[in-house]
Amino acid sequence: MGGFAGPMRSLLASTSPPFPPSHPSHPIPSTSSTSLHAFDADHLAPRRRPHDDRRQVSSGALAMSDALRRAVWDGSIPVRVLLDPSECRIFDQADAYYFQARRVAYLPFYLPRIYRFFEPFLIDKSVATVESAWFEVDNAPLRWHWPVGLLHDFYTALDPTKTATATTPPTNHDRSTSPPPPPDPEPGVPQLPWTITLRFASYPHDLLTTLTPTSTHDSFINTVKEADFARNGTAKAVMSLSPADSRRLFASLQDHDFDGFWGVSDKMLKHSGSTVRNIPLRIYNPETSQVIQGSVPVRQAASILRGGDPQTLGGALNSLVPMLFPSRRSVVLARPVMHGVVLPLSVPLVDLMQEAMYPDGFLHITLAMMDDDNDTASSYVRLTHGEENAAAANAQTPLDRSLALDRSLDGDADWVML
Amino acid sequence: MSHDTDMTDVDDAPPPLALPFLSKETFAVAVAGLIAQLDACAADLRYAIKESPYDPSDIYLEITRSIDFAPSSDTAATSVATTDETSTLDEDDPEALPVQSQNHNLVIHYHILLSPIYAVPTLHLTTNPPIHALSSFYDSLVPPDQRAAVAAVGVQGGISQTEHPYLQRTCWFVHPCQTAEAMRPWVTRDGGEGGRGSGEVGVEGYLGIWLGIVGRAVGLTVPLRRGGQIA
C-alpha cells in the first residue's frame, strides 16, 4: 500500500460523517471538533519511503488522501455567540446565537448572519455597525485572519487527550433553579459549544487588523503566496494561476466548495515548474502567545547521502522548538495539535502538508502542554557526552529510557530529563 | 507574532543564499551598509538598530520620520508630495520646523526587517496617530505618482495591514513577494534588462537601492550619494 500505510490509513478508518448543518438558535449537541482521532501513535510503524515517493502513490492512496482532505475540510466547531451586555438594549440580554463554524473558514464569513441575528437587540445601530464588529474570548480579540480552527485550538489551549465537557447555556426561564456555575474549566479541556462574545465599542486596533470587504481575501492570498514561496523557493506556482483561478481559490473557500478549492490548490502543489523543497509551518504556544514560523526541508539533511528520508513532524518540532520537543520520537512536554487532534511525531511533513494543510498552505500547529505533576520541566540538565550511558542506565521510567535511547540513536537531542 | 526562525536553522544549512536573497548574516551586512550611507548623507535621520524580543540575532532597522499632514485627504496628499520632493532631510525634521497650526504631525516608524520566508527585506510601519483605513494610508503616505502602481498589485494593492512579526501589534507592510525580482537587475550580474545588472552594488549597497524601490512607495525616500535614488 506504498507510503500511506501508517497514520494516513488509520486516520481514514475512523473518519466519521460530517457534522449536522448549522442551526442557529438551537443548542448544538456537544461534539468533538473534528473526527481525526486516528492520528494515533499506536498505529505508527516506522516507514521507509523511496526517494520520490509522491510520484509512486497509487490510485487507492489518492482516494485515501481525498478522504483525509475531506475530513479536514468538514471539521467544524459548535459556537455560541453572546452579545456583550453593554451593547444590548434588553436588560436580560439577547438570546445566544448558535452555529457550526467550519474549522477551515474565517470568522468574517459568518459575521453578516450573526449581525442580522443581533440587530434587533443593538442599542444604536448607527454606531454598532457590521464594520465595527469584533469578537473576543477571555478578553482576547479574535483575529480575523486566523482560521477558525486555529483560533479555537489556540485560545482554548486545546488538548484533545482530555474529554470534552458540555456546558448548559443559561436561559431566562430557569434562573431560579440553575445549578451553581461550574468551577473554572481545566486548561485544555474543550468546553462546547465554544462561547465567544460579539462587541462593537472600542475596536482594539492595536491587536486587530481593520476588517474590510477585501481584507480577509487579501490576507488569505498573501499567506497563500508566502506558503508557495516557502515550498518552492519561488512564487511561480501561485503567479501562474489565472485570474479566474485566483478568484476561485478564495470564493470556493467562502462557499465551502471542496472540489472548487482543491481543483485550484492542487495546481499550485503540483505545478510542473517547481518542486516542493520546504514545508511552511507555524507553531503557536498558547501559554506564551509566541508564534514560531518555520520553513522545513522535506528531507532530513542527515540522510541526504542515502537518498533522503522524509523529514517527520517530530524532526521539525525538535529543530524549531527544541526546548519543548527534546525528542524527535516521543512527546515529553507538549503535544502538537492541529484540526483538533494530536498529531503523531512520526508523520512525514510532506504527507501532512498534502493531506492536512490549512487552505492557506500552512500547517498551523498549536501546542498542548502536558501535565507535569512532578514539575520535572524545570529540572533539565544538559548531559555531557560521557554521561549519556549512565543516564540510560539510571532511567527509571519508560519515558526516561526512551529519551536516553533517543539521545544515543540520534546524537542530536541535547536535553534529557532527569 | 514572531517569525523569528530562519529557514537556515533547520537541519544542515542549505547552500548560501545568492543575491537578491539575503540571509540573516548578509542582512546584517546590508543594514550596516545602509547606516554608513545614512551617516554620510543624512546625518539628521533618526534611526536605531533593534532586536527581536524572541531572538536577539534577529535585528531590524527602525527609521523614524515625521510629516505634516492635514486630516482632509487632499491636503494630506499635497503635504506628502512636498515632503517627498525635498532634497534634504533637515526640512523634514519636526524639531526644526514649527508645526503649522491647521496641520497635524504624523510620526512614522519604518521597520526594515528580514522576511525568513522570502529572504528579502520587508518594510513594516506604524504611525502616530495611528492610521486604520487603507484609503487614509494612501492619502497620507503613498506619493501620488506611486499610487497607481502600488494599487495594481494583489487583491487590494501592495500594502496591507498585518501583525508585526516582533511587536505583537498591528502594523502596515509592503508586500515582499515581488521584491526579489525588482532587486535582481541591480544586485546581480545577470540581472538582464540591458546590462543594468552590473553587480557592483553588492550587499552593502543593497538597502540603498531597496529604499528607492520599496521605501519610495510609502514615502520613505532618503537622498543618498550613490545608488539610493532611482530617477
pLDDT of residue A26: 38
Query: Which residues does A129 contact at the CB level (< 8 Å), separation at least 6?
Result: A200
Q: Choosing among A206, A323, A360, which should be mutated to test the B contact, i.e. which has the most B CBs within 10 A?
A: A206
pLDDT of residue A44: 30
Say if residue A23's pLDDT is above 50.
Answer: no
Distances (CA, A) of B153 to A167, A221, A233, B149: 47, 12, 20, 7
| Phi and psi at residue A95, to the nearest 5° | -65, 160
Tell me which residue of A358, A403, A361, A374 sits closest to A152, measured CA to CA: A358
**For A317-352, what is each residue's pLDDT tens digit?**
999 999 999 999 999 999 999 999 999 999 999 999
**For B118-128, what is each residue's pLDDT tens digit?**
999 999 999 99
Which chain A residues are Cβ-neighbours of B14 within 8 angstroms? 297
Per-residue b/e over A8-17, b at no fewer than 16 CB within 10 Å?
A: bebbbeebee
Q: What number of CA atoms fall less than 13 Å from residue B52's CA on the CB side? A: 24
At what angle are helices A59-74 and A349-356 packed, to 10 degrees? 60
Query: Which residues does B166 contact at the CB level (< 8 Å), separation at least 6?
Result: B1, B2, B4, B52, B53, B54, B58, B60, B113
Amino acid at A302: A
Smallest Cβ distance to A221: which of B11, B155, B168? B155
Which chain B residues are Cβ-neighbours of A202 within 8 angstroms? none
**For A66-85, what is each residue's pLDDT tens digit?**
899 999 999 999 999 999 99
pLDDT of residue B43: 63
Distance separating alpha carbons of residues A209 and A211, to the nearest angstrom: 6
Is residue B123 a part of any domain in this protein?
Answer: yes
**For B132-175, what is each residue's pLDDT tens digit?**
999 999 999 999 999 998 998 888 899 999 999 999 899 999 99
CB A302 to CB B118 under 8 A?
no
Residue B99: pLDDT band (50, 70, 90) is very low
Distance separating alpha carbons of residues A187 and A157, to the nearest angstrom: 7
Reduced to 3 states, what is the DSSP secondary structure of residue A386?
helix
- Closest-CA distance, A276 to chain B, in angstroms, reads 14
Please count the residue pairs, one from chain A and one from chain B, whose beta carbons lie less than 8 angstroms apart: 97
pLDDT, average across residues A100-128: 96
- Contact of A408 with chain B, judged by CB distance below 8 Å, is answered with no
Find out whether A364 and A284 touch, Cβ atoms under 8 Å: yes
Is residue B26 a part of any domain in this protein?
Answer: yes
Distance separating alpha carbons of residues A309 and A283, to the nearest angstrom: 23
Distance separating alpha carbons of residues A373 and A367, to the nearest angstrom: 18
- Contact of A218 with chain B, judged by CB distance below 8 Å, is answered with yes
pLDDT of residue B39: 87
Give the residue numbers in B contacting A (CB under 8 Å), as ranges: 1-5, 7, 9-12, 14, 54, 116-118, 130, 132-134, 154-156, 160-163, 168-170, 175, 177
- The C-alpha cell at A248 is 476561485
Residue B67: pLDDT band (50, 70, 90) is confident
Is residue B9 a part of any domain in this protein?
Answer: no
Which chain A residue shows the shortest CA-CA distance from B157?
A218
Distance separating alpha carbons of residues B59 and B181, to the nearest angstrom: 24
Say if residue A299's pLDDT is above 60.
Answer: yes
Q: What number of CA atoms fall less than 13 Å from residue A107's CA on the CB side? A: 25
Which chain B residue shows the shortest CA-CA distance from A141?
B169
The H helix count followed by the E strand count for chain B is: 6, 6
Q: Is the ipTM of this complex over 0.95?
A: no
Which chain B residues are Cβ-neighbours of A278 within 8 angstroms? 7
- Closest-CA distance, A191 to chain B, in angstroms, reads 26
pLDDT, average across residues A394-401: 44
- Contact of A412 with chain B, judged by CB distance below 8 Å, is answered with no
Which chain A residues are Cβ-neighbours of B12 within 8 angstroms? 301-302
- Closest-CA distance, A299 to chain B, in angstroms, reads 10
Smallest Cβ distance to A291: which of B1, B156, B160? B1
pLDDT of residue B97: 47
Tell me which residue of A15, A19, A9, A33 sits closest to A341, measured CA to CA: A33
Which chain A residues are Cβ-neighbours of B135 within 8 angstroms? none
pLDDT of residue A185: 66
Is residue B66 a part of any domain in this protein?
Answer: yes
The H helix count followed by the E strand count for chain A is: 12, 14
If you ran DSSP here, which 8-state letter would residue B62 be given?
Answer: E
CB B2 to CB A290 under 8 A?
yes
Q: What secondary structure does DSSP assign to A125-179, as a single string?
A: TTTS-GGG-EEEETTEEPPTTS-HHHHHHHHTT--TTSPPEE-----SSSTTTPP
CB A212 to CB B14 under 8 A?
no
Domain count, chain B: 1
Q: Choosing among B12, B115, B117, B170, which should be mutated to test the A contact, i.e. which has the most A CBs within 10 A?
A: B117
Say if residue A103's pLDDT is above 60.
Answer: yes
pLDDT of residue A360: 97
CB A230 to CB B54 under 8 A?
no
- Closest-CA distance, B83 to chain A, in angstroms, reads 27
CB B7 to CB A289 under 8 A?
no
pLDDT of residue A300: 84
Say if residue A89's pLDDT is above 80.
Answer: yes
**For A157-210, what is each residue's pLDDT tens digit?**
999 998 766 665 554 444 444 455 555 667 778 788 999 999 999 999 999 999
pLDDT of residue B153: 84
Which chain B residues are Cβ-neighbours of A294 within 8 angstroms? 5, 7, 9-10
Find out whether B88 and B198 touch, Cβ atoms under 8 Å: no
- Contact of A210 with chain B, judged by CB distance below 8 Å, is answered with yes
- Contact of A311 with chain B, judged by CB distance below 8 Å, is answered with yes
CB B170 to CB A209 under 8 A?
yes
Distance separating alpha carbons of residues A207 and A205, to the nearest angstrom: 5
pLDDT of residue A251: 97
Task: Name the least confident of A295-304, B12-21, B170-179.
Answer: B12-21
Which chain A residues are Cβ-neighbours of B116 within 8 angstroms? 293, 295
Which chain A residues are Cβ-neighbours of B118 within 8 angstroms? 226, 229
Tell me which residue of A345, A126, A296, A205 sits closest to B117, measured CA to CA: A296
- Closest-CA distance, B138 to chain A, in angstroms, reads 15
Distances (CA, A) of A252 to A71, A147, A245, A304: 17, 15, 10, 39
If you ran DSSP here, which 8-state letter would residue A40 be given?
Answer: -
Q: What is the CATH number of the domain that holds B103?
A: 3.30.1460.50
Is residue B110 a part of any domain in this protein?
Answer: yes
Question: What domain range is B96 assigned to?
Answer: 16-218
Find out whether A121 and A82 touch, Cβ atoms under 8 Å: no
Say if residue A380's pLDDT is above 60.
Answer: no
Find out whether B67 and B219 touch, Cβ atoms under 8 Å: yes
- Contact of A297 with chain B, judged by CB distance below 8 Å, is answered with yes
Which chain B residues are Cβ-neighbours of A323 within 8 angstroms? none
Find out whether A219 and B160 touch, Cβ atoms under 8 Å: yes
Smallest Cβ distance to A292: which of B4, B12, B177? B4
Is residue B25 a part of any domain in this protein?
Answer: yes
Mean pLDDT of chain A: 76
Mean pLDDT of chain B: 78
pLDDT of residue A11: 47
Is residue B6 a part of any domain in this protein?
Answer: no
pLDDT of residue B197: 52
Distance separating alpha carbons of residues A326 and A328, to the nearest angstrom: 7
Residue % of chain A over a pLDDT of 70:
66
pLDDT of residue A6: 53
- The C-alpha cell at B195 is 546590462
Find out whether A242 and A228 touch, Cβ atoms under 8 Å: no
pLDDT, average across residues B69-74: 54
Distances (CA, A) of A118 to A21, A27, A139, A237, B81: 21, 17, 20, 43, 45
- Closest-CA distance, B196 to chain A, in angstroms, reads 23
If you ran DSSP here, which 8-state letter would residue A122 be given?
Answer: B
CB B163 to CB A219 under 8 A?
no
pLDDT of residue A153: 97
Which chain B residues are Cβ-neighbours of A218 within 8 angstroms? 154-156, 160
Which chain B residue shows the shortest CA-CA distance from A221?
B155
The H-assigned helical ranges of B108-201 are 134-141, 144-151, 179-187
**For A254-293, what is each residue's pLDDT tens digit?**
999 999 999 999 998 888 777 889 999 999 999 988 889 8
Smallest Cβ distance to B117: which of A145, A206, A230? A230
